[in-house]
Amino acid sequence: NKQVVLKEYVTGFPEESDMDIIEGTITLKLPEGSNNEVLLVKNLYLSCDPYMRILMTQGPSYVTPSITPGTGTPLRGYGVGRVLESGHPDYKKGDLVWGITTWQEYSFVSLDQSLFKIEHTDVPLSYYTGILGMPGMTAYVGFFELCSPKKGEKVFVSAASGAVGQLVGQFAKLAGCYVVGSAGSKEKVELLKNKLGFDEAFNYKEEPDLDAALKRYFPEGIDIYFENVGGKTLDAVLLNMRLNGRISACGMISQYNLTQPEGVTNLTNIIMKRIRMQGFIVSDSYHLYPKFLEFILPHIREGKVLYVEDIAEGLENGPAALVGLFTGRNFGKQVVVVSRE
């Protein structure tokens, strides 16, 4: 039972060498006397998500418990698996599930509000780590529920080519908005404009003055900002928001590896422009998952919403894939394949 474990708590940027691949043993049987709220699964796909970095830091955080290094306990995160054993009447051997699992070949997973049975398999299974899983729900809740977009509104999305961002941009187009995305390479910018239907996109690394860049793309200002990166980008956005604008505070990846977070200086704009900025954690809204599936599945089947994935083959390539999120190495949703069957 191959596993990915954390060696030390991480400070600064995470590196592959912060993790180890070890060969553990596991008895492929539910423990004697275990209640029926635990399943034994074979992990098929694992999801690389920025919040996993927060689990690698010592100290309290919004995602608990953090991963304790040096205990041989594998990393924890979202994934897709096949049930090998279940004591629960609703789950049978062979069923597919997505939700919180551990980074190893086989895991015991808990049946809680973060575990879902997969009912639709006419779409790629790996999608349940992305568009049909946690990131898809994040884009849906953060954009539609928090921002109540209206036709013709001007939307800006940062980390726009990633797991969440690429969907927010496409949802904005479905809502009849004008949408601009920022991303960290020429290839990502081309993807946004030529394949995913963004009206405009730019490479933030080549914009010495983000305020000027935003003024170029939003001469009348921004109605909705979907915040994925924080820091300097948020500061520049605040200068360019319109009256009664909304900011969906989803993530601030530019801050996760800093020991001293960057200051944001333009906050008074929130008052002057009557901006509503709201943070959210997607798992609080998992009761909306059935409604989301009803919305998204037809769009996927009809090719009206596309999803770009970056697939790393093999658990042993998991650490590199995970740390790559923080240098922008991933091109679309970063997935790790543990097994295809």
Residues that bind ligand NDP (CB under 6 A): 49-51, 135, 138, 159, 161-165, 183-185, 188, 228-229, 250-254, 280-282, 325-326, 328, 330, 333
Q: How far is the CB of 330 from ligand NDP (least distance, A)?
A: 5
Cβ closest to ligand NDP, residue 53 vs residue 154: 53
Q: How far is the CB of 51 from ligand NDP (least distance, A)?
A: 5
Cβ closest to ligand NDP, residue 258 vs residue 272: 258
> Are residues 200 and 180 in contact, defined by beta-carbon separation less than 8 angstroms?
yes
* DSSP codes of every residue in 63-123: S-SPPPTTS-PBPEEEEEEEEEEE-STT--TT-EEEEEEESBSEEEEE-STTEEE----SS
Q: How far is the CB of 47 from ligand NDP (least distance, A)?
A: 8
Strands 38-47 and 333-337: antiparallel
30: Cβ contacts below 8 Å, ≥ 6 apart: 38, 39, 40, 85, 86, 87, 108
Cβ closest to ligand NDP, residue 49 vs residue 223: 49
Q: How far is the CB of 272 from ligand NDP (least distance, A)?
A: 26
Comparing CA positions, the residue from 119, 118, 143, 139 lying closest to residue 130 is 139
Cβ closest to ligand NDP, residue 40 vs residue 160: 160
Q: How far is the CB of 306 from ligand NDP (least distance, A)?
A: 15
Residue nearest to ligand NDP (CB): 162
Cβ closest to ligand NDP, residue 40 vs residue 139: 139
47: Cβ contacts below 8 Å, ≥ 6 apart: 77, 78, 79, 129, 130, 133, 134, 135, 333, 334, 335, 336
Q: How far is the CB of 40 from ligand NDP (least distance, A)?
A: 27
Classify residue 60 as exposed, middle or buried by CB count within 10 Å of its CB (0-12, 13-18, 19+): exposed
Cβ closest to ligand NDP, residue 24 vs residue 231: 231
- Tokens encoding 139: 């884009």
